[in-house]
Amino acid sequence: MQFTAQQIATLIQGKLDGDPNAQVSEVAKIEEANERSLSFISNPKYEEYAYTSKAAIIIVNESLDLSQPVNATLIRVKDAYSSFAFLLEKYNEMISGSSKTGIEQPSYISANAKIAENIYIGAFSYISENAVISTGVKIYPGCYIGNNVIINENAILFSGVKIYDECIIGKNVVIHSGTVVGGDGFGFAPQPDGTYKKIPQIGNVIIEDDVEIGANTTIDRATMGSTIIRKGVKLDNLIQVAHNAEVGEHTVIAAQTGISGSTKVGKYCVIGGQVGMVGHIHIADGTKINAQSGISKSVTNPNTTLNGSPAFEYKNSLKSQAVFRNLPELQQRIQKLEETVFELTSLLSTQNLEYKK
């Protein structure tokens, strides 16, 4: 499938600089592109590739000031990264079979489930009683949809996704393979004999609109009430969100992070990989947490940046790390100072004794 520079520029509302009839048939990284490739430059650090790349068409920021001529046709836009992401999305739709519709067999759909038109249900999927599947939903093979689950318009569930009873999935939600939504929260009451008694988990999970959830992530149902993933949240692979937790709008969380029960994460937070949060705390809006940090208490000030375990203010944590790395040298210096002080003290004592004589 081939596209011209003019077609691409029209699609992303860019300004052409070069041959409007230049053609591409693939997308590629700027450093690996060939004569058939479309690529992009959004970071000024990669400007040098504009002069050496073999790409036929390169999308660049309109603010990029080139110091040399280039062979490629340029398409200038306000934000090259966002424009290229938009093109990748459209390209992926064309090659991924996302236009699939219909119900494949074998699959099971309860007689009282409500199934809209223009949907896709892949083979070996199971749709339970009173489930609601809305227009444009795509459920890939091997998915399980529990009783009374509601899946709203244009949601996509990739192969092997499990949605437990009573959960609600918003519009335009994307859930990747192996994810479990609505499994029991980790609730066990200690008994006098040292055993643990399971606390029934009777709540659900609510995932609002425009959320994307990576592969093999688990979001537990609430003990009572709802575990909530707010609008626009992006969760990476292998994340654990515990019962009654809440993740605020447009927060992004990287892989292997764990959020304990009843913790509330604010809006527009950025959380690195392998972050751990204890339960029953609040994370203020706009908080940024560095990878492998441990959050043991609430973050009350918005737009705070944290690092370390236990985590504290980012710049102070870096200073502390620098001091920690220098501890052996500091210890040697302190020992030398102690030796010098001891020698001076001994010398002064000797002089005082001679003076008294």
Q: Active-site residue numbers?
A: 243
CA distance 22 to 59: 13
**Pick from 27, 17, 16, 13: nearest CA to 78:** 13
- The pair of structure tokens assigned to 174 is 């994307």
CA–chain centroid gap for 136, Å, is 25
Q: Say which residues have a Cβ less than 8 Å from residue 335's Cβ, sequence separation at least 6.
A: none
275-304 burial, b if ≥16 CB within 10 A, otherwise e? bbbbeebebbbbbbbbebbebeeebeeeeb
Alpha helices (H) along the chain:
5-12, 48-52, 80-95, 314-325, 327-356
Q: Say which residues have a Cβ less than 8 Å from residue 39's Cβ, sequence separation at least 6.
A: 27, 28, 29, 30, 33, 53, 55, 57, 58, 59
Distances (CA, A) of 202 to 105, 158, 165, 245: 33, 26, 10, 15
User: Coil, helix or strand for 265?
Assistant: strand
Torsion angle of alpha carbons 70, 73, 75, 76, nearest 10°?
20
**Pick from 36, 64, 65, 34: nearest CA to 52:** 34
Q: Which helix (H) or strand (E) holds 294?
A: strand 294-295
Q: Is 95 left (phi over 0), alpha (psi -120 to 50) or beta?
A: alpha
CA distance 201 to 34: 55
CA distance 283 to 251: 11
User: What's the longest Cα–Cα distance across the chain?
Assistant: 112
